[in-house]
């Protein structure tokens, strides 16, 4: 898999604070609608039912719900559904601005949070949940080479982040797990699923992390949305003003094209 260039900022920032070694970065683009290598894994998913604040079985907020170990790309809104996913935060500058844009257009998104970022900004995690968005575990140190590390390391990265996010949210658990740079392994997928977190990929990489300009980000989404419904953006890792500007254009455009906004399948 290709990896996102320049995405090791979490490792550099967090290693000093957490004693976690971050490895060089790079990025991955998911273009398939199904996981090409994961169909044969045992599920290993716990059977404890989860009930959200809204009373939805299997939703964030309770114990682990049984989910598939395969990497999700599809939308719960069907063929014309789009899943907006926001990675690497929360960030005190950019997450509120992203939340404002989503609110303006009535769009719900999935926020893939880095554990220490969530721990540092519990008010933002709670704001994400209060607005009806979903949480996703994006590990502790955003190590895009964790698929080459031991199972013990993978477990620490996933479960420590899950705990930090859950505590920051006031008890709302992540519903998904997204490996940094797409660095999934059969073990990490099974572990996440056993904790009620569906492994989450993406179909459209907006390339916003590279800051190519808002117009370029918008053009990428328009050109690649036919690849599938799950679109990757970022709300941390540097100046995300281009992301905010691009979302203001992309969200109404998608509505004009007849798309509706949903969440990744579980």
Residues 32-55 pLDDT 10s: 333 333 333 322 222 223 333 322
Structure tokens at 142: 């955003």
Kindly write down the DSSP assignment for every residue of 70-91, as one continuous string. Answer: SPB--BTT-TTEEEEEEES---
pLDDT number for residue 63: 56
In sequence order, the 6+-apart residues with CB closer than 8 A to the CB of 265 are: 72, 74, 75, 76, 198
* Res. 24: pLDDT tops 90: no
Decide if 87 is catalytic: yes
**Half-sphere exposure of residue 92, counting CA atoms within 13 Å on the CB side?**
5
pLDDT at 76: 97
What pairs with residue 72 in β-bridges? Answer: 200
Place of tokens 């800051």: 211
How far apart are alpha carbons 174 and 159 in whole angstroms? 11
Angle at which helices 122-130 and 94-104 cross, to 10° = 10
Among candidates 221, 266, 229, which has minimal Cα distance to 78? Answer: 229
pTM over 0.75: yes
Q: How far is residue 66's CA from residue 49's CA, in Å, rounded to a whole number?
A: 8
**For the segment 148-207, what is each residue's pLDDT rounded down to a tens digit?**
999 999 999 999 999 999 999 999 999 999 999 999 999 999 999 999 999 999 999 999
Q: What percentage of the chain carries pLDDT values higher than 90? A: 75
Contacts of residue 241, defined as CB under 8 A and 6 or more positions apart, other chains included, come to 94
Angle between helices 241-256 and 94-104 (to 10 degrees): 20
CA distances from 126 to 35, 103, 156, 257 (A): 31, 15, 24, 32
- Compute the distance between CA of residue 36 and CA of residue 56 in angstroms, rounded to an integer: 30
Q: Tell me the two tokens of residue 99.
A: 């939340």
Active site residue 234: yes
Alpha-carbon distance of 230 to 246, in angstroms, equals 16
pLDDT digits (tens, 9 = 90+) for 211-262: 999 999 999 999 999 999 999 999 999 999 999 999 999 999 999 999 999 9
pLDDT, tens digit (0-9, with 9 covering 90-100), for 66-92 = 899 999 999 999 999 999 999 999 999
Q: Catalytic: which of 35, 87, 137, 208?
A: 87
**Rounded CA separation 110/129 (Å):** 10
User: How many residues belong to the chain?
Assistant: 266
Is the bond leading into 265 cis (omega within 30 degrees of zero)?
A: no
**Beta-bridge partners for 198:** 176
Q: Which of 88, 133, 234, 235 is catalytic?
A: 234
CA pseudo-torsion sign 138, 143, 144, 146: negative
Q: What angle do CA 93, 159, 86 make, to 5 degrees?
A: 30
pLDDT number for residue 27? 33
């Amino acid at each position: 898999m290709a990896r996102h260039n320049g995405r090791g900022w979490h490792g550099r920032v967090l290693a000093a604070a957490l004693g976690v070694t971050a490895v060089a970065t790079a990025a991955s683009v998911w273009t398939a609608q199904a996981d090409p290598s994961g169909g044969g894994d045992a599920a290993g998913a716990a059977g404890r039912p989860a009930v959200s604040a809204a009373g939805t079985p299997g939703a964030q907020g309770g114990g682990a719900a049984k989910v598939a170990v395969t990497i999700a790309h599809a939308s719960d809104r069907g063929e014309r559904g789009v899943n907006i996913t926001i990675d690497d935060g929360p960030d005190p500058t950019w997450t509120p601005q992203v939340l404002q844009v989503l609110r303006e257009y009535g769009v719900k998104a999935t926020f893939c949070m880095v554990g220490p970022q969530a721990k540092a900004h519990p008010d933002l995690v709670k704001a994400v949940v209060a607005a009806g968005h979903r949480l996703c575990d994006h590990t502790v140190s955003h190590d895009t080479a964790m698929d080459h590390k031991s199972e013990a390391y993978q477990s620490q990265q996933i479960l420590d982040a899950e705990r930090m996010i859950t505590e920051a949210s006031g008890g709302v658990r992540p519903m998904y797990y997204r490996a940094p740079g797409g660095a999934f392994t059969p073990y990490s997928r099974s572990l996440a699923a056993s904790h009620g977190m569906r492994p989450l990929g993406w179909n459209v990489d907006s390339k916003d992390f590279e800051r190519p300009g808002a117009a370029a980000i918008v053009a990428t989404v328009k050109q690649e949305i036919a690849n599938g419904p799950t679109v990757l953006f970022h709300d941390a890792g540097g100046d995300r003003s281009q992301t905010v500007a691009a979302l203001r254009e992309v969200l109404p455009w998608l509505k004009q094209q007849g798309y509706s906004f949903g969440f990744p399948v579980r």
